[in-house]
């Protein structure tokens, strides 16, 4: 849980304060060995990482991704990081199936190299970035963020990336740009459920420009210090920790700046259930279930209690000002 702010306004928990230090240090030492070539020179190269990312996704780890602990001093937390095996096997990624286990089973077909992201629309400097260019755009950080999904489950994951604002500043939005749209790859050859009637493809999500500029909005390339598994949105996705998980677009191929509020995938499918903002809010229930409590994945014991859902997923102090004066039950 984020408790206080510092120079740039945001703290991220230090991973060793959440994971037992022995386990955390052992994992980091393994990552260092891999990067140094001791565990195989191929794993330290992008080619090696991409080859691993495209193999069937088995339980276990992928190769190390450059990026260390957050540059921001951490805040104390009592929350435990979700096990990697849970975070990489219990997913929503409807391009690979609607069951939570489907993406891990099916996403090995996703080809993530070569990859590019086109940035277009109301910007001074439109550009198509290769993945390598995006990786070099800004130093990457490891940030511990909660992910809260609309179905009532949550995880705590160490993501690797940098604030989307770094990319936004590079392309220089025009004065009339008000929204940022994120478009996911929609390739029926490599994404077997594209074309199903569940959603209108491609998958589209969007933010107001001020939301997209917020330091907590993370352009993400990895998790647990390693390259993103395909089922978690490889090779590049958004992570928006104060919103429900479906707002964080995966496998992004296009970012578009516009003056009109875009129509987003789930909002088009069921506007009465999924609002444009979709901020985590325990007082606004989904029409078919309560949002007041959540179940932390990995805490599934017989006597495990559900947790109370926190406003803005616990990031109210950081993002609440973005919605000052708004009726958050109407603008849900």
**Contacts for 144-147: CB closer than 8 Å, 24+ residues apart:** 144/12, 144/13, 144/15, 144/18, 144/77, 144/79, 144/81, 145/12, 145/216, 145/218, 145/239, 145/241, 146/79, 146/241, 146/313, 146/314, 147/239, 147/241, 147/245, 147/248
Query: Tens digits of per-residue pLDDT, 84-143?
Result: 999 999 999 999 999 999 999 999 999 999 999 999 999 999 999 999 999 999 999 999
| Residues 165, 315, 10, 211, Cα dihedral to 10° | 20
Residues 151-161 as b or e (16 or more Cβ within 10 Å = b): bbbbbbbbbbb
| pTM attached to this predicted model | 0.81
Strand partners, 120: 256
Token representation of residue 179: 């929204």
CA nearest to 139, candidates 43, 72, 52: 72
Cα 20–chain centre separation:
24
Query: How many Å apart are CA 162 and CA 216, to the nearest integer?
Result: 9
Query: Tens digits of per-residue pLDDT, 289-326?
Result: 899 999 999 887 656 788 999 999 999 999 999 999 99
Token representation of residue 136: 């070099």
Query: Tens digits of per-residue pLDDT, 253-285?
Result: 999 999 999 999 999 999 999 999 999 999 999
Sequence ranges of the domains in the chain: 15-321
Report the share of the chain in percent with pLDDT over 90: 72
Contact 62, 227 (CB under 8 A): yes
Residues 6+ apart with CB under 8 A from 231: 57, 88, 89, 91, 93, 96, 103, 104, 107
CATH class of 15-321: alpha beta
């Amino acid at each position: 849980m984020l408790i206080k702010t510092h120079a740039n306004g945001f703290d991220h928990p230090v991973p060793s304060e959440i994971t037992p230090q022995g386990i955390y240090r052992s994992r980091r030492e393994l990552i260092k060995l891999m990067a140094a070539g001791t565990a195989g020179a191929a794993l330290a190269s992008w080619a090696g990482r991409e080859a691993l990312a495209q193999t069937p996704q088995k339980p276990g780890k992928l190769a190390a991704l450059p990026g260390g602990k957050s540059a921001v001093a951490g805040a104390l937390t009592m929350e435990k990081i979700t096990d990697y095996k849970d975070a990489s096997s219990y997913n929503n990624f409807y391009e690979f199936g609607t069951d939570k286990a489907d993406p891990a089973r099916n996403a090995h077909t996703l080809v993530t190299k070569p990859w590019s992201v086109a940035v277009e629309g109301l910007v001074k400097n439109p550009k198509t970035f290769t993945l390598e260019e995006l990786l070099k755009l800004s130093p990457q950080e490891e940030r511990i963020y909660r992910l809260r999904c609309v179905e009532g489950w949550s995880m705590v994951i160490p993501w690797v990336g940098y604030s989307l604002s770094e990319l936004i500043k590079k392309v220089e939005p025009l004065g009339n740009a008000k929204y940022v749209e994120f478009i996911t790859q929609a390739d029926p050859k490599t994404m077997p459920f594209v074309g199903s009637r569940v959603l209108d493809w491609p998958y589209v999500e969007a933010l107001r420009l001020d939301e997209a500029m917020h330091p907590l909005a993370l352009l993400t390339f990895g998790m647990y210090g390693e390259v993103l598994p395909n089922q978690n949105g490889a090779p590049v996705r958004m992570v928006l920790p104060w919103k429900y998980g479906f707002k964080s677009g995966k496998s992004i191929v296009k970012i578009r700046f516009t003056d009109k509020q875009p129509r987003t995938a789930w909002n088009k499918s069921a506007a009465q259930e999924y609002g444009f903002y979709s901020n985590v809010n325990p007082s606004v229930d989904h029409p078919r279930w309560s949002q007041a409590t959540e179940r932390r994945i990995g805490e599934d014991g017989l006597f495990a209690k559900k947790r109370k859902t926190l406003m803005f997923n616990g990031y109210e102090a950081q993002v609440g000002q973005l919605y000052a004066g708004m009726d958050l039950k109407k603008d849900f």
